[in-house]
Amino acid sequence: MTCKQLGGPCDTAFSAEKADDVIHQQDQHLKDMVAGGDESHREALKEMQGRWKRPVSGLGWYRKTKKEFAAAPED
């Protein structure tokens, strides 16, 4: 999956055996990009950090992402 597929602004690809691992990779990517001065990732980082402040919508995002991961073709 890509940063963009997970709600970010770019096409950086993430790969893992589990959806949770891809999600963690993207979360770290967002943090790293913003820390490095990339403002295009700031809004996605804010969304990621706020996901669990809104449990219903956060869980909806999580379930949707897991389904998309399961449906994605394997490399």
pLDDT tens column, 18-29:
999 999 999 999
Within-domain flag for 7: no
Residue 47's contacts (CB-CB under 8 Å, 6 or more residues apart) are 7
- CA distance linking residue 48 with residue 40, whole number of Å: 14
Query: Residue 7's pLDDT is what?
Result: 93
Query: Residue 73's pLDDT is what?
Result: 80
Within-domain flag for 46: yes
- Residue 31's domain comprises 19-71
Query: Residue 57's pLDDT is what?
Result: 84
- CA distance linking residue 35 with residue 64, whole number of Å: 28
Within-domain flag for 33: yes
Query: Residue 75's pLDDT is what?
Result: 61
Phi-psi region of 37 (alpha: psi -120 to 50; beta: other; left: phi over 0): left
List pLDDT tens digits, range 14-62. 999 999 999 999 999 999 999 999 999 999 999 998 887 888 888 999 9
Within-domain flag for 12: no
Within-domain flag for 26: yes
